[in-house]
C-alpha cells in the first residue's frame, strides 16, 4: 500500500515536471508581454519536431538538442514579437484591447504554424525511443527517460527563476511586469524587454518540446492539448506568476496521477473540473496577485 502511494506520488511528479515547464513559458508571455499566446503549444510542437529531425537524420542526442533548440526558439519568439505583436500593441493602444487582439492573432499563428509543420514534416505521427527502459527505485519502477525529463525540467525552471530573480535583465523584466510605463520612464527599453519575454516564453516551450519528444509522440496537431494544459496550470498557479506556474504544474501532475490510478477515464475530466472550481473559488490562483 505504501509503495503504491509512493508510486502514484512520484508518477505525478514526473508528469508535473513536464507540465511546469510548459506553463512557465506561457506565464512569462502573459505575465509580462500581456500576450495570451494560444499558439504556445505550437512552439512545443516545433521544439519536438526539431529534436526528432536532429535525432533521426543527424543522430544528435536529444539532450544536446536543448542547446540548439533553445536559442532558435528564442530568436523566433523575439522576431515574432518585434514584428507581429509590437505592431498590434501600437495599433491597439495597449491595455485590454491589445490583450484581445493579440490573443486573436495568436489563434491565427496557431493555424499558420500547424499547417507549415504539416507541409514540412507531413501529418503522420513521428517518434523515437530514447532511454526507454525501466529504473527500479526501492521496488517502484519508473521510466528512465521520464526521470531525465523531470531532472532537466527542474534544472531549467530553477535556472530560469534565478535569472529573473538575480540578474539585472531579470530585474528589468520584473519591473516591466509590474508597471511597463514606469519601467520605461526608469530607462528600461520596454519594447526590447517585452520582445525578449515573448522570446523566452517560446524558448521554454521549445525546450519542453525537446524533453516531451523523448517520451511522447510528435505530430503537427499535438500543440493544442499542451496549450490547454498550460492555461490550466497558469490559472492554477496565478496569472503571471512564474513560481506559481511551477507549483501549479506539479499539483496538476499529482491530481492526474491520483485520478488515473482510481479511474483512468476521468483523468482529463479532473483537469477541467479543477480549472472550473478554481475559477469559481480562487480565480487569482495559488500565487496570483
Partner 1 sequence: MVKKYIVPLVICLILFMALFAGCTQPSTTPAPPSEPKTGGEQEPEPPKPEKDKIVFGSVHSISGPLAIIEEAAFGPIRNLWFKDVNERGGIYVEEYGKKLPVELIEYDDKSDIGTMTRLLEKLILEDKVDFILPPTGTAMLYAAGPVANKHGYILPGMSGGATTIKEIIGGLPYFFSNLNFSDTQVPAFGELVSELGVKSAAVVFIEDLHGVEYSGAVVPEMVLRGVDVAFVKSIPQGIQDMSAIIKEAKAADVDAFLCLAYPDENILCVSQSMELGFNPKLMIFGPGVCYTFFKDIFGDEGVEGLMSWGAWNGKSTPESQELIDKIGVANVDWWGHNLYWAGMQMLEKSIEKAGTLDQSVVREIMATETFDTVLGPTYYDENRMLAAECHTGEVGQWQSGQFEVIGPKNKATAEPIYPKPPWPGQ
Contact window for partner 1 (CB under 8 A) among 26-34, 216-224, 231-239, 243-251: 216-224
Contact window for partner 1 (CB under 8 A) among 31-39, 77-85, 111-119, 154-162: 111-119
Pair 213, 128: CB distance under 8 Å: yes
Binding mask 128-167 for partner 1 (x = CB under 8 A): xx--xxx------xxxxxx---------------------
Residue whose C-alpha cell is 490550466: 232
Q: Of 79, 57, 39, give the one whose Cα is nearest residue 209.
A: 39
Pair 168, 47: CB distance under 8 Å: no
Should residue 272 be labelled a site residue for partner 1 when binding is judged by CB under 8 A? no
CA angle 212, 215, 216 (to 5 degrees): 70
- Smallest gap, in angstroms, from Cβ of residue 261 to partner 1? 4
Name which of 10 and 79 has its Cβ closer to partner 1: 10
Q: Which of 256, 274, 275, 285 is the binder for partner 1 (CB under 8 A)? A: 256
Strands (E), 46-178: 134-137, 140-143
Should residue 65 be labelled a site residue for partner 1 when binding is judged by CB under 8 A? no
Count Cβ atoms below 10 Å from residue 44 Cβ, excluding itself.
35
Contact window for partner 1 (CB under 8 A) among 86-94, 166-174, 176-184, 264-272: 264-272
Count Cβ atoms below 10 Å from residue 104 Cβ, excluding itself.
13
Q: Of 159, 134, 157, give the one whose Cα is nearest residue 147.
A: 134
Residues forming contacts to partner 1 in the complex (CB under 8 A) are 7-8, 11, 15, 114-115, 118, 122-129, 132-134, 141-146, 215-217, 219-221, 225, 256-257, 260-261, 264-269
Amino acid at each position: 500500500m505504501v509503495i503504491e502511494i509512493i508510486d502514484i506520488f512520484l508518477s505525478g511528479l514526473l508528469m508535473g515536471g513536464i507540465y511546469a515547464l510548459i506553463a512557465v513559458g506561457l506565464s512569462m508571455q502573459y505575465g509580462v508581454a500581456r500576450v495570451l499566446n494560444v499558439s504556445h503549444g505550437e512552439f512545443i510542437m516545433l521544439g519536438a519536431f526539431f529534436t526528432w529531425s536532429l535525432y533521426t537524420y543527424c543522430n544528435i542526442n536529444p539532450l544536446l538538442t536543448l542547446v540548439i533548440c533553445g536559442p532558435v526558439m528564442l530568436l523566433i519568439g523575439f522576431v515574432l514579437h518585434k514584428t507581429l505583436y509590437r505592431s498590434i500593441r501600437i495599433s491597439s493602444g495597449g491595455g485590454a484591447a491589445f490583450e484581445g487582439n493579440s490573443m486573436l492573432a495568436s489563434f491565427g499563428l496557431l493555424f499558420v504554424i500547424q499547417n507549415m509543420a504539416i507541409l514540412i514534416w507531413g501529418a503522420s505521427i513521428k517518434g523515437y525511443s530514447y532511454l526507454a527502459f525501466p529504473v527500479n527505485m526501492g521496488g517502484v519502477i519508473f521510466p528512465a527517460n521520464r526521470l531525465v525529463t523531470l531532472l532537466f525540467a527542474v534544472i531549467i525552471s530553477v535556472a530560469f527563476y534565478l535569472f529573473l530573480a538575480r540578474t539585472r535583465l531579470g530585474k528589468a523584466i520584473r519591473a516591466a511586469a509590474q508597471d511597463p510605463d514606469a519601467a520605461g520612464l526608469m530607462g528600461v527599453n520596454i519594447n526590447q524587454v517585452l520582445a525578449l519575454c515573448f522570446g523566452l516564453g517560446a524558448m521554454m516551450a521549445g525546450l519542453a518540446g525537446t524533453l516531451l519528444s523523448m517520451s511522447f509522440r510528435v505530430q503537427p496537431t499535438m500543440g493544442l492539448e499542451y496549450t490547454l494544459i498550460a492555461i490550466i496550470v497558469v490559472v492554477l498557479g496565478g496569472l503571471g506568476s512564474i513560481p506559481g506556474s511551477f507549483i501549479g504544474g506539479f499539483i496538476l501532475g499529482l491530481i492526474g496521477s491520483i485520478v488515473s490510478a482510481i479511474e483512468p477515464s476521468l483523468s482529463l475530466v479532473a483537469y477541467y473540473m479543477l480549472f472550473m472550481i478554481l475559477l469559481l473559488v480562487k480565480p487569482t490562483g495559488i500565487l496570483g496577485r
